[in-house]
Amino acid sequence: MSDVYVVGTDMIKFGRFPDRKVEDIGAEAALLALADAGLTIGDMQAVYSGNLGQAGAGVGQRILRQIGQTGVPVVNVANACATGATAFREGWMAIKAGVYDMVLAVGCEQMGKGLLGGAGGGDGISTEGLLGSGTMPSVFAHVGLEHARSYGTTFEQFAKVSVKNHHHSTLNPKAMYQIETPLEEVMGAEMISYPNTKLMCSVNVDGSAAAVLCSEKKARELGLLGRAVRVRASALASDPYTQHNLAAMDFNAVTKLAAKTAYEMAGLGPDEVDLIELHDCFATAEIVHYENLGLCGPGGAGRMIDTGETNLGGRIPVNVSGGLLSKGHPLGATGIANIYEITTHLRGEAGKRQVEGARIGLTHVVGAGSACAVHILEKV
Amino acid sequence: METPADPAALKPAVSCIKTDSAGKPYLEGHKCSACGEVFMETRRGCPKCFAVGTLSPVKLSDKGKLYNWTVVYRNFPGVPVPFVSAIVDLEGGGTLKGNLIEVEPDPAKLKFDMPVKVVFGDAGRTDKAGNHYLAYFFAPEAA
Ligand SMILES: [Zn+2]
């Protein structure tokens, strides 16, 4: 089977674009990624489009109406917060299988402001706030406090994640915000669901990102290997059964499963990874994923954030893009924006936030329901 | 939260709330005869061991322990805050989420594994037709 390469990728600066159509937002990133590869939509043999808010409304085809109706197969993908990564993975699989040599993966999303989630299931009345809370800040508050239950993780340690990722975003012109948030400001912000304050919740933004995937043969033929990045592993998992999974969403087992699959596929371990973009939809989430992705042993995450190991310049920088917390989280675009970020570092083109000497990078997204995707990329 | 005079007259807010022949509410789970795991809803197959057709209804304990919690300060309009969202493991099986009441919604007052009991009461909200509903709540169990 052919190795698969990312030969072009880009994202738009995330923001709020209520006056634009979602396909216009997606089309912008698609054209940027194609231009990055020096290709056109006419070169693409298939399009994999990730969008959650308008799943079922043919966003992929609508993007082609903006940039060229080439008649190629379009696959519209919806898979919770793993939507963009799943679209990317579908393209990877098609090339792996030898069906196509070059495909476009594009993710886009137009979000409203405010709370996501909320408990359903009530027969006639809403059960939100009656039978506990199913809003995303509450779900991820439970995730954090489960870690606190086992390891004594503190409010301050969770808050430090936000300080770090907001700091990183000041170095990323494509992040929604470029604002420092000192610890006292993060901890003193409006408490949403303990221990997540408002500054520990990801930003609902509009955005898009895209990537051109290519077989080795084609990349060689077109002379595209120079700036290409190899996909060493692509893994996707659904949530295996755990005792608390049906009452409180478990994002740990699903992440561990996807990470294990990805490390095995890549034939490497977490020690060989130089940087990570992981799913910090809430500050509490980043802490648990240090352990789920094997960056430290059980209970080691609090120490990692305390000692700055995951800062830019640290042992294993995490979310140097600013993460979902400050770069923003346009659901369908997030997974591909992570691919863009890692690719940019492996190319040595990340400017002020460049992780020096980066050779291997890992992306992780996990969505409620649950779906987890892990990709491992390597500098060619 | 007072148990209403006639809880059987209220519609259950969720399907796991049942009333016995004496009109007393209880929680019903579904236990897998193959692996012993208890679920709050019935299913065709067992999520844990994949056996098919092995789940049957079981009356659950009204005692349990607070596995996890959060204090919710911001919610949708009309939902009173703050409140405690709790994950409780019932004695003998069954894990579910609910509001923990009769406790100050203060992170300093909440302890993992504190004993709780299941209580029932009017949900305090009605559907469009004005029907009242029966909900379950958790309350601290006097040690
Ligand atoms: Zn079973």
Q: What is the model's pLDDT at position A117?
A: 75
Mapped onto helix, strand or coil, the DSSP state of residue A373 is strand
Q: Do A142 and B48 touch (CB under 8 A)?
A: no
By residue count, chain A amounts to: 380
Percent of chain A with pLDDT over 70: 98
Looking at the partner chain, which of A122, A124, A145 has a beta carbon nearest the beta carbon of B69? A145
B17 and chain A in contact, CB less than 8 A: no
Ligand 1 centroid distance, CA of B43 (Å)? 11
Closest residue by Cα to residue A323 from A98, A213, A166: A166
Q: Is the pLDDT of residue A376 over 60?
A: yes
Measure B22 CA to nearest chain A CA, in Å. 23
Percent of chain B with pLDDT over 90: 90
Q: Do A133 and B135 touch (CB under 8 A)?
A: no
Closest residue by Cα to residue A32 from A127, A108, A94: A108
Cβ-based contacts of B89 with chain A (< 8 Å): 243
Quick: pLDDT tens for A307-338: 999 999 999 999 999 999 999 999 999 999 99
B114 and chain A in contact, CB less than 8 A: no
Measure A193 CA to nearest chain B CA, in Å. 4
Q: Is the pLDDT of residue B54 over 70?
A: yes
Ligand 1 centroid distance, CA of B46 (Å)? 5
Domain harbouring A35, CATH code: 3.40.47.10
Range of the domain at A30: 4-113+204-221
Domain-located, residue A327 = no
Q: What is the model's pLDDT at position A120?
A: 55
Task: Decide: residue A202, CB within 10 A, 0-12 exposed, 13-18 middle, 19+ buried.
Answer: buried
Domain-located, residue A68 = yes
Q: What is the model's pLDDT at position A108?
A: 98
Domain-located, residue A301 = no
Model ipTM value: 0.94
Q: Do A247 and B69 touch (CB under 8 A)?
A: no
How many structural domains is chain A composed of? 1
Domain-located, residue A320 = no
Count of CB atoms situated within 10 Å of the CB of B123? 26
Closest residue by Cα to residue A229 from A122, A131, A346: A346
- CA-nearest residue to B50 within chain A is A241
- Amino acid identity, position A370: S
User: Any bridge partners for residue A191, and if so which?
Assistant: A197
What is the C-alpha separation between B56 and B40, in angstroms, rounded? 11
Quick: pLDDT tens for A16-46: 999 999 999 999 999 999 999 999 999 999 9
Q: Is the pLDDT of residue A119 over 90?
A: no
Residue partners of B86: CB distance under 8 A and separation at least 6? A132, B66, B68, B69, B97, B98, B99, B100, B116, B138
Residue for token pair 């236990």: B31
User: Number of residue pairs across A and B with CB atoms under 8 Å?
Assistant: 130
Looking at the partner chain, which of A123, A130, A146 has a beta carbon nearest the beta carbon of B68? A146
Quick: pLDDT tens for B68-114: 999 999 999 999 999 999 999 999 999 999 999 999 999 999 999 99
Number of helices and strands (H, E) in chain A?
12, 11
Percent of chain B with pLDDT over 70: 95
Residue A123's pLDDT band, with cuts at 50, 70 and 90, is: low
Q: What is the model's pLDDT at position B7?
A: 72
Residue A121's pLDDT band, with cuts at 50, 70 and 90, is: very low
By residue count, chain B amounts to: 143
Q: What is the model's pLDDT at position B142?
A: 79
B97 and chain A in contact, CB less than 8 A: yes
Q: Give the helix/strand (H/E) hosting A137.
A: helix A136-151
Residue B2's pLDDT band, with cuts at 50, 70 and 90, is: very low
Q: Is the whole-model pTM more than 0.90?
A: yes
Quick: pLDDT tens for A139-164: 999 999 999 999 999 999 999 999 99
B27 and chain A in contact, CB less than 8 A: no
Q: Do A124 and B11 touch (CB under 8 A)?
A: yes
Q: Do B75 and A194 touch (CB under 8 A)?
A: no
